Structure 1
Amino acid sequence: MYNFNFEPVFVGFDQLLLGAWLTIQLSCAAMILGLIVSVLCAAGKTSGIAPLRWLIDAYIEVIRNTPFLVQIFFIFFGLPSLGLRLTPNSAALLALVVNFGAYGTEIIRAGIESIQKGQVEAGTALGLSKLQIFRYIIMKPALRTVYPALTSQFIYLMLTSSVVSAISADDLAAAGNDLQSATFASFEVYIVVTLIYLAMSVGFSAIFSAIEKAAFKYPLSR
């Protein structure tokens, strides 16, 4: 019979909480920057400029068809050969942004293409500028359509961020590894780490659900 002993875990619980906080910071920063990359790339894909579209397509295919761990290793271990040396946390953030940007681009592109051309033509007839058309007629309804997919991608990104511990980045998984190495309470440590990841996922899901109800009511608020 296995004797559970959570006392070493509770002694180092503040270490796990700090790791969880750093995971949230890293994931939120990656989502914000990745969303910017996604919007720009989606606009480029729908712009009709063939060379730009080919370049974005190549970026998406490379990221979506290679393991995330390999992408992290390429950024952290490969780029220094070209003279670009990043800290573990900076390399982790860059890898997460690049990864989220590729998946987010296709999500937002699908939302943009769901907008009927007649709506854009109506905006033009009303004398709206191109920026106003993109903001009110294209982007906001498109975001409303793809919001559930984007939030699911963020949750997946937050869980995937546990891989960055492979390059010694500061996150919950790395904190769990350190605590396990110090206490040898592997089973207990990873049970608690799993529960913390579960709590973060459920918490963010609830937050995103509340934001959806507040921000994407019909008609869309400005």
Structure 2
Amino acid sequence: MSKVIEITEIRKHLFDGMTILFGGFMGVGTPPRLIQAILDSEVKDLTLIGNDTAFVDTGVGPLISNKRVKKVIASHIGTNAETGRQMIAGEIEVELVPQGTLVERIRAGGAGLGGILTPTGVGTMVEEGKQVIELDSKKYLLERPIRADIAIIGAHLADKKGNLTYQLTTRNFNPIIAFAADKTFAEPDEIVEVGSIDPNYVVTPAALIDYVILPEGH
């Protein structure tokens, strides 16, 4: 069964206060048309979870610039001056998470685990408010799993069932977030027929994808 939909159909899955996982690294691999569709829907009070907030006009930046976001969970915000400004002004909450820890928390959410143990951040400000567990004379932080209402993925090729490939560094966080959301939307550069993608090159299998966005011009 085809999972291909028009991009406007995402609106029925959006609501104020929802949590969104997004792929991308400095905007590379973040699905631009899905970001615009979310912006056009006028939903607000969003929690965004991803590696970084890119730039003011790139990646998830427009959602932040238009004040649709109440909280960001990310590893880096330094390239987006508006994220920093809103954080300092108390207009947005920012939770900075070490990159490896962030990925593991997302993986744990996708796998149904209760959390992860990591030595990263022990004895630093990262430790504040978290449970410390000692195993074999070594201290670890208990980090909670992360899940979201939806995940939005940027892909290179998708077949009509939702099998995905990625191009070069656009792969980054996209494959892992597909596991950790109630619904996952993929925005590919191109849609091909089922069977056109060599199974050896499928990175994200169709079982993890709920909807494939029809590319512009089709």
Fold in common (TM above 0.5): no
TM-score normalised by the chain length of structure 1: 0.24
Q: Which has the larger radius of gyration?
A: 1
- Indicate the structure whose relative CO is greater, using CA pairs within 8 Å and at least 6 residues apart: 1
TM-score normalised by the chain length of structure 2: 0.25
Q: Which has the higher strand share?
A: 2
Q: Which has the higher helix share?
A: 1
